[in-house]
Chains A and B, each alone.
Chain A
Amino acid sequence: MDLQDALRAVFTFDNYAELLPLVRNSLLAGAVLGLLGGLIGVFVMMRDLAFAVHGIAELSFAGAAFALLVGANVVAGSLVGSVLAALVLGLMGIRARDRNSIIGVVMPFGLGLGILFLSLYEGRAANKFGLLTGQIVSVDDVQLNLLVGSAVVVIVALAAVWRPLTFASADADLAEARGVPVRGLSVLFMVLLGVAVALSIQVVGALLVLSLLITPAAAALRITAAPGRVVLLSVAFACISVVGGILLALGGRIPISPYVTTISFAIYLICRAIGARRGGAVSATRTPRASVTTPAA
């Protein structure tokens, strides 16, 4: 394949008008998942859970692969895997240090299981590959309902705990002194995160979940610290990445994830540049400090 063929594989817009209605479901699912990813990503950043997202994704992948092997619903399998992983992390790893080592131990095990199940599976190879790299282009009505329904549940739950969760994420000690159920919220958030990861895997695949759950929020944080604006921008970036990715991927024969991750990454770079230009004035008078943990536990 020469360069021209490669380019044609990446960007093809033949018969675009006919193709577009066929992916109506995918676009809808993508928009909802973008909304979800943008919202939950803000808390992932605040709670320093980027690595946990990656770990949960690998177990979610194992669950989905198992479902594929036994002929069960793949989204359901993915949900079971990631919620289980999230619960384990939520209940066991309280401190970031412990948590990271647990994730580091569990993640390769999950990935290994997933590969085992996929090797045993004898169906279409595209199904296998899709779990790791995304497959949203073929969303049927049943899947759409499951995806959107789960996403709405998570978004509503997130809205219900928004303020205390913000408090607990910003300063757990103080929130606890005020009577915020910090521990319970932490476990609940991990479950919500587990669901969000499982759903995002359907779009970008297990390996690239971070591009939907971290990158948009991280980009938003580069240019503002006002909580409302962070949330709006993060959601906008995530939606643009997913929906834009689907639209670009439509004509070609390449999974959508490279498109999503590239848009997402480009947005991040732009935000970094804007942040650096603005930050120049700020950091001249204000030096950012590293976070320091007090000896008092």
Chain B
Amino acid sequence: MKDTHDSPTHRKPLRMTSTIPGQAPTPTGAPVRPAIRLRGASLSFGSRTLWEDLDLDVMPGEFLAVLGPNGSGKTSLLKVLLGLQALDAGTAAIDGRPVARGSRALGYIPQQKSFPPDTPLRARDLVGLGVDGHRWGLRLRTRDYTRRVEALLEDVGAQSYADTPVGLLSGGEQQRLRAAQALATDPAVLLCDEPLLSLDLHHQQAVSGLIDRQCHEKNSAVVFVTHEINPVIDYVDRVLYLADGRFRVGTPAEVMTSEVLSDLYGSPVEVLESNGRIIVVGLPDAPTHHHEGV
């Protein structure tokens, strides 16, 4: 049951131009290199296998949604790509290079987490950390920095609270700033870990729209971990569905079917479509060992 990368049906924006701003240059005429490449990747915790023999390519400009029950290894997949979790077997590469602990080629939007009220940062400073927070020393030249921060604040519609302390912002406002922060370096790969969790509908749309634009307009590869595909259903190119140590990769139409999910879960699951939304009925209860953090 090993699905591979590159299903013929999925949208793959091939770029003919030789370089894409903000990304590693591709030699003229060479085929576009996958932004993410996993080969034979396996990960287990103790006796429990999260996934094994996972082959996956995510191309620049492709939006991959990672779905699955709690404890199926969605967040762990992100940790592998972030270089914070070693694989038990196989290889993982970002932008042609083996994953390393932290990388400028990566943007990361974590689960919503509030800042303490007395954090000495305004919204614009938080976004600024995404621009040059990794550089050593003090910030001496500020003109380009200020311009970049203003542009990012505008992109996410955060100008109205640019000077508000981050600790006083709502979860949705903070999450927009995290998106701006992640997009600051125009990353080749954007990793999102349930970025819409605990946001209201309005902010969900705003944040997912931003991620979509970064993906399909600026050609970043997006890996979007979520337990709920509907908020991003219009943007998703492919789905990686993880369950019970097994997985399936394909377009939403290929994967989100009663047949495939019943097979993955090993029990009858029904997938209904209504108004462009997907409703999954009859999911087995989440495993008793709750492993959201795994």
Contact = CB atoms under 8 A, between A and B. Distances in A.
Nearest to B135: A163
B118 A45 contact: yes
Interface in B170-210: 170-171, 178, 181-182, 191, 193
B84 A176 contact: yes
Contacts of A46: 119-120
B102 A179 contact: yes
A221 B181 contact: no
A276 interface: no
A42 B120 contact: yes
B108 interface: yes
Contact of A164 (B136, B165, B181): B136
A293 interface: yes
A142 interface: no
Nearest to A178: B134
Contacts of A173: 108, 110
Contact of A227 (B106, B120, B168): B120
Interface in B88-115: 100-104, 106, 108, 110-115
Interface in A165-186: 166-167, 170-171, 173-180
Given A163-B133, A177-B108, A227-B120, A291 B178 contact: no
Given A174-B181, A225-B121, A295-B293, A162 B133 contact: no
B168 A221 contact: no
B125 A227 contact: yes
B120 A296 contact: no
A4 to B, nearest CB: 43
B139 interface: yes
Contacts of A174: 108, 110, 129-130, 178, 181-182
B25 interface: no
A161 B138 CA distance: 8
Interface string A140-174: 00000000000000000001111110110011011
Contact of A160 (B75, B132, B136, B191): B136
A286 B129 contact: no
Interface centre among B122, B133, B171 (most CB of A within 10 A): B133
A294 interface: yes
B114 A178 contact: no
A125 interface: no
Given A42-B120, A162-B138, A167-B129, A179 B103 contact: yes
Nearest to B163: A226
A173 B84 CA distance: 10
Interface residues of B, number: 51
Contacts of A160: 136-137
B114 A291 contact: yes
A286 B134 CA distance: 30
Contacts of A167: 129, 133-134
Contact of B133 (A178, A225, A293): A178
Interface centre among A171, A221, A288, A295 (most CB of B within 10 A): A171
Contacts of B182: 174
B242 interface: no
B138 to A, nearest CB: 5
Contacts of B108: 173-174, 177-178
A274 interface: no
A175 B133 contact: yes
B132 to A, nearest CB: 7
A12 B168 CA distance: 46
A288 B115 CA distance: 9
Contact of B104 (A159, A161, A178, A224): A178
Contact of B102 (A171, A178, A293): A178
A283 interface: yes
Given A45-B118, A170-B126, A178-B104, A296 B133 contact: no
Nearest to B75: A296
B106 A286 contact: no
B29 interface: no
A98 B226 CA distance: 31
Interface centre among A173, A225, A292 (most CB of B within 10 A): A225
B30 to A, nearest CB: 26
B111 A296 contact: yes
Contacts of B111: 294, 296
A297 to B, nearest CB: 5
A271 to B, nearest CB: 12
Contact of A163 (B102, B115, B136): B136
5 contacts: A159-B137, A178-B106, A178-B108, A179-B103, A296-B193
| CB-based closest 10 A-B pairs | A179-B102, A225-B165, A167-B133, A288-B117, A177-B108, A286-B168, A230-B120, A291-B116, A296-B293, A289-B114
Interface of B: 75, 82, 84, 100-104, 106, 108, 110-122, 125-126, 129-130, 132-139, 163-171, 178, 181-182, 191, 193, 292-293
Interface of A: 42, 45-46, 48, 159-164, 166-167, 170-171, 173-180, 218, 220-221, 224-227, 230, 282-283, 286-297
Given A225-B120, A226-B125, 15 more contacts: A48-B116, A163-B137, A163-B138, A164-B135, A170-B119, A179-B100, A225-B118, A227-B125, A287-B168, A288-B168, A289-B117, A291-B114, A293-B113, A295-B292, A296-B110
